[in-house]
Amino acid sequence: MVHPRLGYVHWHIREESVEAINATHGEGFNGSHLVVRVYDVTDILFDGLNAHMFFDLEINGLSGNYYFAMDRLGSNYLAEIGFRFADGSFHYLARSGTTYFDRDRPSGNYQIAGLFVEGTLNKIFSVENIFDAPVYERMNHELAGINRKKPLSLEERWFFEAITETYIPIIKFLNRLIEKNVSFKLTISISPSLLAMMEDRLLQERYLAHLCGLIELSEKELERTRHEPHFHWLAGMYRYLFMEAREVYVNHCNGKLSSSFKRFIENNSISEDHISALEQMDNIFPNVDYRLFR
């Protein structure tokens, strides 16, 4: 994204990849066109076929770049490069990551740390967390009124809050350590019942809907508090935190938190001996595959 109304893609495709798809499809490859296909994947776990919409950018050459206009703001997009055959079928060669095209308005990038400054500047000290209880309580209260096909149960509410406030922050923090090549060791206890909840497709979809509800509510709070600078700032901060949680959940975990913990084990960052102890529970929960971590 260059800015909310302008996108940019660049690509480099090896000739071997083109030759391979030509050999696979034979005469069907004749008359095909190289295109970049851009998908709207907002609030979904993209499987290649379930995008809200898509459009094609006609391109020439196996290497290049392209600027394109964007008029659907506040959405997540990803791109694939591949060949559109004469029969209308599309065969992609590579897929990009997801990019969020924000609304055309002031940035919602807020941080929870700040400075407390007395009116006369005599006292200045850092504040690690400026969460404001009244705003948070109001958001939780109003969230209960959002229409759903089925109300959240106590267990679901507990699980969803744990994802937002515990598991996703842990994953974000550990990913940063790995990116900076910081060596660390961590032991995490994941019970069979928690693992089953992380793997449950229905709970994954309901959590995503719950998170989208939080984002929607925070945007309503931004509008409601637009004449109250302090509370407006806090509402924007919550929107940023919830959107960041959705980014990690959808684009980094693809809805499966267990996949992230699996990567940490493969990096020898989480004690595999402790995780493997879960396999002893197989007689109690026979339908859970604890080997998914390996």
Q: Going by C-beta distance under 8 Å and a sequence separation of 6 or more, which residues neighbour residue 81?
A: 11, 13, 34, 35, 36, 37, 59, 92, 93, 94
d(CA 3, CA 260): 30
64-99 pLDDT, tens digit per residue, is 998 988 888 888 999 999 999 988 899 989 999 888
- 164 to each of 29, 158, 231, how far by Cα in Å? 46, 10, 22
C-beta of residue 80 within 8 angstroms of C-beta of residue 64? no
Per-residue pLDDT band for 48 (boundaries 50, 70, 90) equals: confident
- Domains contained in the chain, CATH given: 6-101 (2.60.40), 131-293 (3.20.110.10)
Q: Going by C-beta distance under 8 Å and a sequence separation of 6 or more, which residues neighbour residue 62?
A: 11, 12, 13, 14, 15, 18, 34
Give residue 269's Cα distance to chain centre. Answer: 22
DSSP-based helix, strand, coil % in the chain, nearest 5 = 45, 20, 35
C-alpha R_g of the chain: 23
What is the structure's pLDDT at 55? 92
Per-residue pLDDT band for 276 (boundaries 50, 70, 90) equals: very low
- Which of 74-83, 210-219, 223-232 has the weakest average pLDDT? 223-232
d(CA 10, CA 266): 31
What is the structure's pLDDT at 294? 44
Question: 99 by DSSP, 3-state: which?
Answer: strand
Question: 106 by DSSP, 3-state: which?
Answer: coil
Report the 10 Å Cβ neighbour count for 194: 16
d(CA 76, CA 79): 11
Would the pLDDT of 285 be above 60?
no
Q: Going by C-beta distance under 8 Å and a sequence separation of 6 or more, which residues neighbour residue 67?
A: 2, 6, 7, 8
What is the structure's pLDDT at 111? 64
Phi, psi of 126 (to 5 degrees): -75, 150
Would the pLDDT of 123 be above 60?
no
